[in-house]
Amino acid sequence: MPQHPIEIILMRQLASYLAVPIFVVDPLGTLLYYNEPAEALLGRRYEETGELPLGAWTPLFQPTAEDGSALSPDALPLVIAVREQRAAHRAMGIRGLDGVSRRLGVTAFPLVGQGGRRLGGVAVFWEAPRP
């Protein structure tokens, strides 16, 4: 595993202690970590998935808009947070790696280090009730 900036290491440690599902990526959108509560919604343990580039994890979870249409990676809150350096939120669907479709609320924000270093982003998400 490559050495990550201390802020990413600390974010991963914090996420491991929280009860809310959290997904952490680097500045290129590479999946660096998701915590145990996220595993339940994503359908697979992080240890089984490991780090994945943006082009691998985005289609893996089959993200959809509220109307069921496919979402491009550019429409995902976490990609927006990393690329545009701003918080983003949306309701969306995914198909977990366990084959279960879920409706999620997702809020993402950029991780910025000292001196304005772009470190990546964090998504916090939860299962939302079906309308």
Q: What string of DSSP letters covers 8-57?
A: HHHHHHHHHH-SS-EEEE-TT--EEEE-HHHHHHHTS-HHHH--B-HHHH
* pLDDT > 70? residue 6: yes
User: For the chain, which domains are there?
Assistant: 6-127 (3.30.450.20)
The DSSP element (H or E) to which 58 belongs, if any, is helix 54-60
According to the model, what pLDDT value does residue 3 have? 87
pLDDT over 80 at 128, yes or no:
yes
- Residue 1 pLDDT greater than 60, yes or no: no
d(Cα 69, Cα 63) in Å, to the nearest integer? 9
What is the pLDDT at residue 63? 96
The predicted-structure confidence for 71-115, as pLDDT tens digits, reads as follows 999 999 999 999 999 999 999 999 999 999 999 999 999 999 999
